[in-house]
Amino acid sequence: MGLLSTAKSVLGWMQKNLRFATLSLPTILHTFRKIWYNEGIKSKGECHKMTVVWVILGVLVVIVLWAMFAYNGLVQQKNWVQEAWAQIDVQLQRRNDLVPNLVETVKGYAKHEQETLSQVIAMRNQIAGMGNDVSPQEKMDASNQLSGALKTVFALAESYPDLKANTNFLNLQEELTNTENKISYSRQLYNSSVAKYNISVESIPTNIVAGFGGFTKEELLETPVEARKVPEVKF
């Protein structure tokens, strides 16, 4: 009887708003009950009513199937967004694991740079302490600050030749540079996934399913200011 109740609600809305059905709602439901309980259809009028009911049921089935596909598509795209963010998080964790080793290596050669190194550790600990309640953009803002601080540490090597020649420092510098590149690539992948997902959430008629399903827009990650600068070419 739950199906009959649902059909009654949908058909009532269709009659009122779309003027789709030419028969009265009680007549349609009466015919539907005959079909549902396999009762005989005797007159031509009843045959016509049955045809109308079957058409309406066919339309309802198509709508339900489309809604299912649309919902599943939104779920899939939402999962892609979450997976893309997980890739960024992996790289952030990888960098956090490398930073203490870099700081300890630099300390042995640049004892007068304690303030800079302390700031790097503080930024690293801030990112490590961020939970799931922090938005991706907030975490990336902190990450961008750490990236800038690491560039400062790398620049210190120019003032300390022994540090610049240290094998451990060079290996850490290479690993951290590769990690930064992976973070940048993962950010692009995340933004691409978010853009596709947001289009589905806002587009008609998928936005109807998104509204009922609780799907909301995701925010794109902002590109760091340094990455937006056009490099100068000198001749």
- State the CATH number of the domain containing residue 120: 1.20.1440.20
**Is 124 inside a domain boundary?**
yes
pLDDT band at 194 (very low <50, low <70, confident <90, very high): very high
171 is a domain residue = yes
Residues 198, 201, 203, CA angle at the centre, nearest 5°? 100
Closest Cα to residue 72, out of 203, 209, 219, 174? 209
Which of 67-76, 202-211, 226-235 is predicted with the least confidence, judged by mean pLDDT? 226-235
Do 83 and 134 lie in a common domain?
A: yes
Q: Are residues 82 and 132 in the same domain?
A: yes
Residue that terminates a domain, selected from 61, 87, 106: 61
75 and 156 share a domain?
Answer: yes
Per-residue pLDDT, 58: 82
In a domain, 161, yes or no: yes
For the residues 176-203, what does the mean pLDDT come to?
Answer: 95
Question: Is the confidence at residue 15, as pLDDT, over 60?
Answer: no
How many domains are contained in the chain?
2
Cα distances from 73 to residues 64, 101, 121, 207, in angstroms, run 14, 44, 42, 12
**Higher-confidence position of 218 and 61:** 218
Per-residue pLDDT at 50: 63
> Are residues 113 and 200 both part of a single domain?
yes
Q: Is the pLDDT of residue 190 over 50?
A: yes
* One domain, residues 29 and 119: no
Is the pLDDT score of 164 beyond 50?
yes
Please check whether residue 178 lies inside any domain of the structure. yes
Domain boundary among 14, 36, 61: 61
- Sequence-ordered list of residues with C-beta below 8 angstroms from that of 154, at least 6 positions apart, any chain: 173
CA angle 68, 59, 66 (to 5 degrees): 20
Q: Is residue 233 part of a domain?
A: no
Q: Is pLDDT at 75 greater than 60 in this prediction?
A: yes
Model confidence at 166, pLDDT cuts 50, 70, 90, reads: very high
14 and 82 assigned to the same domain: no
* Residue range(s) defining the domain that contains residue 43: 2-61
| Together in a domain, 120 and 80 | yes
| 41 and 134 inside one domain | no
- Which whole number is the average pLDDT over 101-109? 91
167 in the same domain as 97: yes
Residue 228 pLDDT class (50, 70, 90 cuts) = very low
Q: Is the domain of 136 the same as that of 206?
A: yes
Does position 41 have pLDDT exceeding 70, yes or no?
A: no
127 inside domain: yes
Mark which of 12, 45, 61 sits at the end of a domain.
61
Do 105 and 191 belong together in one domain? Answer: yes
Q: Is residue 234 part of a domain?
A: no
**Same domain assignment for residues 53 and 77:** no
Instruction: Note the pLDDT of residue 114.
Output: 87
* Percent of the chain scoring above 70 in pLDDT: 73
Residue that is written with structure tokens 């827009």 in the block: 217
| Residue 64: per-residue pLDDT | 87
Q: Is residue 235 part of a domain?
A: no
- Residues 47 and 40: their CA atoms lie apart, in Å, by 10
| 229 pLDDT higher than 70 | no
Predicted TM-score (pTM) of the model is 0.73
